[in-house]
Structure 1
Amino acid sequence: MSRRKYKIKPAPAGGVNSPWRHLPNGISLFRVILIPVMFWLSLSGHNLMALIVFCVAALSDLLDGWLAHRFHWHTHFGSLLDPVADRLFILCLIPLLWSYGSISGVYTTLVIVRFSIQLSVVPVLFWWLKKEVMIAPGLLSKAAMALAFLVLGMGFAEQVAIEYFPETSGAEKIFEQTLDALTLLGALLEIWVLVRFVPRYWHIIRGEKDLLE
């Protein structure tokens, strides 16, 4: 498992002179900009367009990481921006799908709590306490993030199914049962990640540890 040390300082060597080196950061910001667009599309009843925009946003998450690794366009700002953009994206859109009844309140609450705590890492550790911390996301943490994106996608797809398929088709029931299973698994993952993350976060604030998983 790789461990990366995050600290705001000049960009590392390797692709640093490329005029395209900030493209991954721009893609991450683009993902954040898509949040209000998806809100407007979904609330306006343009469910298919909302699903398409979601797919674009999800692909952008893969693209910015691939570009950064493929062409060595790594920046310390980008190392912070990408996970922050991912969490903001999910944190803002999960409650929307909960309001539609697509996602359980328990899963929604757990995601909001975890991502809110994790987003506090930047202002608390890096800006306020100015700590140099190593971040090594564990396999379960990555799985919980991937599952959250999948739940979002299924939730928006369910709205499309409700709009375009008759009730007799059974499509809505299939999506409902699938989302119930995914959110149950997601809730278990979120609890496990929180149980591991919160105590370690507290130890880092107290200066007892320097690795955040």
Structure 2
Amino acid sequence: MHINLPTWLTLFRVALLPVMVVVFYWQFPGHNITAAIVFILAAITDWLDGYLARRLNQTSAFGAFLDPVADKLMVAVTLFLLVEAHRGGWPGIVMAVTAAIIVGREISVSALREWMAEIGMRAAVKVAFVGKLKTAMQMVALVVLIVQHEKSAEALRLYHIGEGLLVIAGVLTIWSGFYYLRAAWPMMRGEPPHRDGVETDSTSHSTNA
């Protein structure tokens, strides 16, 4: 099997995950900032592999499968790290509940897409703007939360900013989840598909939703 450049970038993103975990827990000066840089690099490859796949016309079945897996892993692993690092009290509860909402939504939408693909209607649940907005808010929130140092007053303020952004991302997560469920609901009821407001662009290698 030939692996093209976009897919190599996706594989690189997966390889960055254990690096981020090690850096996150390795208590050297500036480890949080370094972990955030690794996360940002992974996020950049997420955008870049989709751009190159379209620009170079190098889409592939393996790349289409691997790209959303890498995206979900990147977000889920980062959320687990942050939940573990901020256990206890209301901040920990808010973090855990928001993480559960985000991860649960990703699993649900992935299952929904798989079912829609089985019945030949995957185009009805293509990525929508609200899904892209959710992803962008998620990335910013996670970077802020990775960077924060909880031991100082300045860091606590930064943490609360990141926490607020993550809650907003959680709300957008629920909104976008209902968006995709609404698009698929007619097929679940055995009715003709309702496509109003559903984006049907199928050229993207990246599937951030």
Give the C-alpha shift of residue 37 in structure 1.
Answer: 2.1
The residue that corresponds to 2:202 in the other structure is none
> Does the aligned pair in 1 maintain the 2:16–2:42 contact within 8 Å?
yes
Give the Cα–Cα distance (whole angstroms) in 1 for the partners of residues 189 and 12 of structure 2: 36
Q: Which 5+ residue runs of structure 2 have no aligned equivalent?
A: 200-209
> Does the aligned pair in 2 maintain the 1:47–1:156 contact within 8 Å?
yes
2:19 is the alignment partner of 1:37: yes
Give the C-alpha shift of residue 49 in structure 1.
Answer: 2.8
Counterpart of 2:160, as a letter, is Q
The residue that corresponds to 1:182 in the other structure is 165
Give the C-alpha shift of residue 121 in structure 1.
Answer: 4.5
TM-score, structure 2 as length reference: 0.74
Give the Cα–Cα distance (whole angstroms) in 1 for the partners of residues 187 and 74 of structure 2: 26
Give the Cα–Cα distance (whole angstroms) in 2 for the partners of residues 189 and 105 of structure 1: 17
The answer to which of 201-210 and 142-151 deviates more is: 201-210
Counterpart of 1:57, as a letter, is A
Give the Cα–Cα distance (whole angstroms) in 2 for the partners of residues 123 and 106 of structure 1: 26
Residues 78-157 of structure 1 mapped to structure 2, 5 A cutoff: 78-101=63-86, 104-121=95-112, 124-126=115-117, 129=118, 131-134=120-123, 135-157=125-147
Deviations for 1:164-192, whole angstroms, at most 9, x for unmatched residues?
xx72xx32123122113212311221121
Give the C-alpha shift of residue 35 in structure 1.
Answer: 1.6
Give the Cα–Cα distance (whole angstroms) in 1 for the partners of residues 178 and 74 of structure 2: 23
The residue that corresponds to 2:203 in the other structure is none
TM-score, structure 1 as length reference: 0.73
Change (3 A) 1:120 1:37: farther
Give the Cα–Cα distance (whole angstroms) in 2 for the partners of residues 73 and 174 of structure 1: 44
Give the Cα–Cα distance (whole angstroms) in 2 for the partners of residues 50 and 100 of structure 1: 14
Q: Which 5+ residue runs of structure 1 have no aligned equivalent?
A: 1-18
Give the Cα–Cα distance (whole angstroms) in 1 for the partners of residues 137 and 167 of structure 2: 11
| SS of alignment partner, residue 66 of structure 2 | helix
Counterpart of 2:24, as a letter, is S
Give the Cα–Cα distance (whole angstroms) in 2 for the partners of residues 38 and 206 of structure 1: 43
Counterpart of 1:147, as a letter, is M
Give the Cα–Cα distance (whole angstroms) in 1 for the partners of residues 36 and 47 of structure 2: 17
Residues 162-177 of structure 1 mapped to structure 2, 5 A cutoff: 162=150, 167=152, 170-177=153-160
Counterpart of 2:14, as a letter, is V
Counterpart of 2:101, as a letter, is L
Kindly report the root-mean-square deviation, in angstroms, between the aligned alpha carbons of the 2 structures.
2.7
| SS of alignment partner, residue 74 of structure 1 | coil
